Chains A and B, each alone.
Chain A
Amino acid sequence: MSEIIERSAAGIAAQVNAKQAGALEIAEATLAHVRSVEGEVGAYLTVLDDLARAQARRVDERIRAGEHLPLAGVPVAVKDNMCLEGTRTTCGSKILENWIAPYTATAVARILEAGGIPIGKANCDEFAMGSSCENSALGVTRNPYDLSRVPGGSSGGSAAAVASYEAAIGLGSDTGGSIREPGAFCNLVGFKPTYGRVSRYGLIAFASSLDQIGPLTRTVEDAALAYDAMGGYDPMDSTSINKPLEPTAGSWRDDLRGLRVGIVREFDTKTLGADLDTIYRKAYADLERLGAELVEVSLPTADYGVPTYYLVAPAECSSNLARFDGVRYGLRVDGADVRAMYDSTRAAGFGPEVKRRILIGTHALSSGYYDAYYVRAQKARTLIARDFERAFAQCDAIACPAASCPAFVFNAKSDPYSMYLMDYYTIPMALAGLPALSVPCGWATPEGGSLPMPLGLQLTTPLFAERLLLDVAHAYEAATGHAAAHRPALGAVRA
């Protein structure tokens, strides 16, 4: 495996900008590596050989012409729920199995404009619904650190691709934790910006008021670079924030002196078992060693996060997914009349988790239930947001686990609700629209497992405080370096 593809995105871009390496050679090296590991990892549903090469040539031309591109030659994995013109964009679903996107999502276009090279469309839970990538109808993705385990979800493919060096930046989407949890499971930084900071135009909607695109990377600096390239106002998205974007990459803090970090009383890590409890308490202690003052804060409505989310998100998705009807694109299963066609098409095209969420969402919006379910949940959401506001009056950032356990084995969570609980720690921030990320904070060998698996520390800050968030994460990463402790357990990756 060529050494350059193990570098960070920042490292690759620096080399290409300095004309010490070409985008095309990096693309070829990445594609070769993809061929050798995909059999094990299965991160990509579609590998974009031709597009990658064409894009790489364009980047090389621009570099020759004297341009400096923040992501020059950086291999990128694009989650398959993001439109990239001319590519198969499936959302991990049979209903879009052969759909070719006729346009490109704004965020993706900006990454490409910044010099990124699209290596492939990454696997994901169907329509971004899931926490393990097991809900994909089109492929299986495995955790590069232990192939018998899930990579997390829903952005499991993007996470696995970056973890196995098949890309340096993975574009994921996070609705209730779908970037942060796979980030934690795959030893990566998984960053979800403030709602509205990254355009959703071209991101195939799951829950419109929650979805956000964000990067999965091997370093905090890379996450910052990716965010700086793709964030910012987009007139094609009404919910996109029209506020100037301050760059987050560069001029990092050396320590956390002067900052208060909130530890949530309700998130008692003893409930996670002795190993994880030790790891998280050490992580908090490390923050303190960096100069942060630890403060206890309370999120009394945290427990209501999962029930709230599993009403709001399905309600919105039940409406967002109505367009998949076999009329204008995608799968069609014929019927005697149009209604029969709708019914059969959607029955054949959607998997069970998607059906469950459409059903519960439709129910929550239906006559007689709207107030009791949907409206009540949206009010609970206000309470959760207010809890964070109160907490942030006492601290600058909050630290907590990203997930309640490391990556589990396939089929471990067959009961839907037990899978929903995987989002327990990540849902509240999403409901409040806050920026949040997961950064590697240690390793634990799960019960019954033989390989050490990564764990993620979740950090979150008030709305629009991405700069602070990435700064805290960067300082923690620099001081602890947990990610380097182990290598992916792949044949093609040197131990």
Chain B
Amino acid sequence: MANDAIDIRYVAKLARLALTDDEIERFGKQLGDLLGHVNALADLDIASVPATAQVVESRNVTRDDELRPCLDRETVLSAAPQRQGGFFRVPRIIAE
């Protein structure tokens, strides 16, 4: 079981969360503490145990290829933090 400290900076970047230095330190400690408790799971013998992805046992839940009403555009765009005409607008995307 992994015992290393969490790289809070890396994880925050993946999660797109800007953290202050204070938060990085505080969360580092709190989550380190949580992981300490979580490490108890290493005791369990799970070699041949399947993971529970879901409690329900349903399979093949699908829907027919039939149209359903969509949302009115004004309703949709009225919630937009920034819009331009019929579009959502965001600041520039730095190309990858």
Provide the residues of chain B in CB contact with A303, threshold 8 Å: 40
Minimum Cβ distance to chain A for residue B30 (Å): 5
Q: In the bound complex, do residue B56 and residue A241 qualify as a contact, i.e. CB atoms below 8 Å apart?
A: yes
Q: Which of A224-265 contact B (CB under 8 A)?
A: 235, 238-239, 241-242
Q: Is B67 close to A, CB under 8 A?
A: no
Q: In the bound complex, do residue A359 and residue B46 qualify as a contact, i.e. CB atoms below 8 Å apart?
A: no
Q: Which of B2-50 contact A (CB under 8 A)?
A: 2, 6, 8, 11-12, 14-19, 23, 27, 30-31, 33-35, 37-42, 44, 46, 49-50
Provide the residues of chain A in CB contact with B80, threshold 8 Å: 328-329
Q: Of A326, A359, A382, which is within 8 A of B15 by CB?
A: A359
Provide the residues of chain B in CB contact with A373, threshold 8 Å: 2, 38
Cα distance A486–B41 when bound, in Å?
42
Q: Of A310, A328, A359, A380, which is within 8 A of B27 by CB?
A: A359
Cα distance A196–B63 when bound, in Å?
17
Provide the residues of chain A in CB contact with B56, threshold 8 Å: 195-196, 239, 241, 433
Minimum Cβ distance to chain A for residue B10 (Å): 8
Q: In the bound complex, do residue A238 and residue B14 qualify as a contact, i.e. CB atoms below 8 Å apart?
A: no
Q: Which of A395-441 contact B (CB under 8 A)?
A: 416-417, 420, 431-433
- Chain A residue with the shortest CB-CB distance to B76: A102
Provide the residues of chain B in CB contact with A322, threshold 8 Å: 15-16
Cα distance A379–B11 when bound, in Å?
24
Q: In the bound complex, do residue B2 and residue A327 qualify as a contact, i.e. CB atoms below 8 Å apart?
A: no
Q: Of B30, B44, B91, which is within 8 A of A341 by CB?
A: B91
Provide the residues of chain A in CB contact with B8, threshold 8 Å: 359
Q: Would you mind naming 19 contact pairs between A and B with Cβ atoms under 8 Å apart?
A: A103-B71, A195-B55, A196-B55, A209-B55, A238-B58, A241-B56, A241-B58, A307-B41, A311-B38, A322-B15, A325-B16, A326-B81, A328-B80, A336-B92, A338-B92, A352-B23, A356-B27, A375-B51, A463-B55
- Chain B residue with the shortest CB-CB distance to A237: B61
Q: Which of A173-199 contact B (CB under 8 A)?
A: 195-196
Cα distance A382–B52 when bound, in Å?
6
Cα distance A196–B92 when bound, in Å?
41
Q: Is B84 close to A, CB under 8 A?
A: no
Knowing A318-B15, A382-B49, the reply to whether A327 touches B90 (Cβ < 8 A) is yes
Provide the residues of chain A in CB contact with B23, threshold 8 Å: 352, 355
Q: Is A99 close to B, CB under 8 A?
A: yes
Q: Is A304 close to B, CB under 8 A?
A: yes
Q: In the bound complex, do residue A327 and residue B34 qualify as a contact, i.e. CB atoms below 8 Å apart?
A: no
Q: In the bound complex, do residue B18 and residue A346 qualify as a contact, i.e. CB atoms below 8 Å apart?
A: yes
Interface residues on B, range: 35 or more
Minimum Cβ distance to chain A for residue B4 (Å): 9
Q: Is A337 close to B, CB under 8 A?
A: yes
Cα distance A358–B6 when bound, in Å?
13
Q: Is A343 close to B, CB under 8 A?
A: yes
Provide the residues of chain A in CB contact with B58, threshold 8 Å: 196, 238-239, 241-242
Q: In the bound complex, do residue B41 and residue A304 qualify as a contact, i.e. CB atoms below 8 Å apart?
A: yes
Cα distance A124–B8 when bound, in Å?
27
Which of A36-44, A146-154, A362-370 lies on the face that meets chain B?
Answer: A362-370
Provide the residues of chain B in CB contact with A142, threshold 8 Å: none
Q: In the bound complex, do residue A385 and residue B52 qualify as a contact, i.e. CB atoms below 8 Å apart?
A: yes
Provide the residues of chain B in CB contact with A341, threshold 8 Å: 90-91
Q: Which of B68-86 contact A (CB under 8 A)?
A: 71, 75-76, 79-82
Question: Total contacts A to B, CB within 8 angstroms?
Answer: 176
- Chain B residue with the shortest CB-CB distance to A210: B55
Cα distance A433–B2 when bound, in Å?
28
Q: Of A329, A347, A355, A381, which is within 8 A of B79 by CB?
A: A329
Cα distance A394–B55 when bound, in Å?
22
Q: Is A298 close to B, CB under 8 A?
A: no
Cα distance A238–B60 when bound, in Å?
9
Q: Of B16, B38, B53, B90, which is within 8 A of A378 by CB?
A: B53
Q: Of B14, B35, B44, which is within 8 A of A304 by CB?
A: B44
Provide the residues of chain A in CB contact with B1, threshold 8 Å: 372, 376
Cα distance A304–B49 when bound, in Å?
15
Minimum Cβ distance to chain B for residue A471 (Å): 23
Q: Of B6, B37, B55, which is within 8 A of A359 by CB?
A: B6
Q: Is A320 close to B, CB under 8 A?
A: no
Minimum Cβ distance to chain A for residue B28 (Å): 9
Minimum Cβ distance to chain B for residue A163 (Å): 30
Knowing A307-B38, A337-B94, A383-B49, the reply to whether A342 touches B16 (Cβ < 8 A) is yes
Knowing A337-B93, A355-B23, A362-B11, the reply to whether A346 touches B16 (Cβ < 8 A) is yes
Knowing A102-B75, A242-B58, A329-B81, the reply to whether A381 touches B52 (Cβ < 8 A) is yes
Knowing A326-B81, A341-B91, A355-B17, the reply to whether A301 touches B52 (Cβ < 8 A) is no
Q: Is A308 close to B, CB under 8 A?
A: yes
Minimum Cβ distance to chain B for residue A304 (Å): 6
Cα distance A347–B38 when bound, in Å?
26
Knowing A326-B81, A359-B6, A383-B44, the reply to whether A417 touches B16 (Cβ < 8 A) is no
Q: In the bound complex, do residue B38 and residue A380 qualify as a contact, i.e. CB atoms below 8 Å apart?
A: no
Q: In the bound complex, do residue A347 and residue B17 qualify as a contact, i.e. CB atoms below 8 Å apart?
A: yes
